[in-house]
Amino acid sequence: MLDVAQREFLTVLRTRALLAVGVGYVLLVGGVAWLAGTGSYLALVLDLLTPVELLVPVLAFAVGYRALLGDRESGELQTIRTCPVSGHWYVFGVYLGRAVVVVGVVVLGHAVAGAAVPMSGASTLSVVASHATVDSPALYLRFVPVTALFALVALALALLVSATARSSRAGLALATGAVVALVAGLDGALLGSLTAGVVPPDAATALLGLSPNTAYRSLVFELSVAPTGVTVPEGHAALLGGVALVTWLVGALGLASVLAWR
């Protein structure tokens, strides 16, 4: 499995378009932080949250949506299948190799963004003015691994798309649709259900798991925003958000490993 992972890692590093996507992510996330010029880690988390909800799926799908599809289209997957390697291990290897890249890019981007706070020279909070005393790098340090987990979920979904699609065109369409669904569609559906009264407000917490983005957002609120004393939307539970993200990850990856070997 590690040999498969190594090949995937090197494939991404040797593909200029994917490198450009990674550099773009770092520049955009870093750019948002540096342009905002905030002097608070809490404010930085809030500044980055919305852009990251879009950028992370874009990054993960760019890196992952052709990972299995490309080999299937070229025919190499057939050759690999004649080797004594199981579909599950192969897909996990592909995932692992690409996950190292995606997580690396996310961590690098957020390190660049985090460096903006001490170097900004600003001493007041621009967003949550009354909580300057509780601001801490720890808030941001919690935000980064949660974002990395969100990226891992998005990559698993990208591999599921890659295992499902049977052509480049279908893969691109599915990947685009999945990103739109993640960023807007599922959230919109949940919000619409709540406002239309289809789902009672009490059930909102239970519905968090239906959208990876909502689960991610709830985790960020719980781990990086709530400790400062800022009131976060009720019903967001860290445990539920974390379980939801892990469930999405395992489910998508497991399904991808079954579909890839068809």
* Position 78 contacts other proteins (CB under 8 A): yes
Q: Which residue has the tokens 């190594």?
A: 6
- Residue 203 and residue 221: Cα distance in Å, rounded? 19
Q: CB–CB of 127/78 below 8 Å?
A: no
Cβ within 8 Å of residue 173, ≥6 positions away: none
- Residue 237 and residue 107: Cα distance in Å, rounded? 24
Tell me which of 20, 35, 50, 79 binds other proteins, using CB under 8 A.
79
CB atoms within 10 A of CB 184: 13
Nearest to 253 by CA among 163, 133, 126, 124: 163
* Position 10 contacts other proteins (CB under 8 A): yes
Tell me which of 50, 74, 167, 195 binds other proteins, using CB under 8 A.
74
* Position 168 contacts other proteins (CB under 8 A): no
* Position 86 contacts other proteins (CB under 8 A): no
In the complex, the smallest distance separating the C-beta of residue 252 from other proteins, rounded to whole angstroms, is 24
Tell me which of 19, 49, 54, 85 binds other proteins, using CB under 8 A.
85
Tell me which of 23, 35, 50, 81 binds other proteins, using CB under 8 A.
81
Q: What is the DSSP string of 214-251?
A: HHHHHHHIIIIIGGGT----TT--HHHHHHHHHHHHHH
In the complex, the smallest distance separating the C-beta of residue 98 from other proteins, rounded to whole angstroms, is 14
In the complex, the smallest distance separating the C-beta of residue 108 from other proteins, rounded to whole angstroms, is 22
Q: CB–CB of 238/218 below 8 Å?
A: yes
In the complex, the smallest distance separating the C-beta of residue 154 from other proteins, rounded to whole angstroms, is 23
Q: Where are the beta strands (DSSP E) in 57-151?
A: none
* Position 14 contacts other proteins (CB under 8 A): yes
In the complex, the smallest distance separating the C-beta of residue 90 from other proteins, rounded to whole angstroms, is 8
| Closest to other proteins by CB, 50 or 74 | 74
In the complex, the smallest distance separating the C-beta of residue 260 from other proteins, rounded to whole angstroms, is 14
Residues binding other proteins (CB under 8 A): 3-4, 7, 10-11, 14-15, 74-76, 78-85
